[in-house]
Structure 1
């Protein structure tokens, strides 16, 4: 039903999103409601999931998410909480990274905001959900850069495997 309602977009492809979440989105905003927001930032701000940065003189005074709730926000927070219990998916890795740094409640809000952005992009741009599986985290990027530099140095100095004496004892 939701697949037909959103014009061929299956929101159930996103891990953690249940039938209840999709039904809440359909009942509260519908597919034409997404077009009222020019960007995903406007959508997340309307749902009160975006941080309210108060800046004075270039210094951030506060960055709390504003108070207020609606049914979509509650449904996305429940989906984000379910994502926190999953193992080894893109969104659960994001959830764990935030939860380790700032706690579970902040991670639920951040993941709910990320879900809202994903859903807004899927519905407005009519594209399927593609999780970034080939994304390299910072440590992996550094490691790849180090390997690349070492290979370059080996080629520069024309070092052969026989020249390196690795003892196995």
Structure 2
């Protein structure tokens, strides 16, 4: 919902869609009416793409929380809210929310994505250990980290069909503290193709 203070009718409100072409139409509409500053309410995550598009188009965009734009009691509609927000903004009664710069927003996105990947990696590692333990392959005893270089070399060999204990032991780095015999004992198990497939699936 868009309302400008330069429309022909005092309460004229125009509705737009949510696609990029609609964002471009909004920008064109606002420019046609000489709008330079905009107030919009932050609702869920829907505001973000339009907010960024308006900022990139050169508008001064004020993002306000719902507590600031709360209307008087009574019937509440999107049109009424739109008119009310525009009126408050035209009177200078709204203050914008504190927003991170675009650079910090990108850094935050990367940070949370990395956190998600770390959590997923830990979950998959746990499921892989379980699949190996069910064959009594105790790679987790032989190595501190089965997702390290030696661990992944052994797992890749197992998934490729290798079952020879000597071959698997040879893939483990000499820097591993366990003795060759201890590693060999840990890598001797009861092989099952379904469990191997389960390790691949995770």
- Normalising by structure 2, we get a TM-score of 0.22
Greater gyration radius: 2
Which has the larger helix fraction?
1
TM-score by length of 1: 0.25
Structure number with greater CO (CA < 8 Å, separation at least 6) is 1
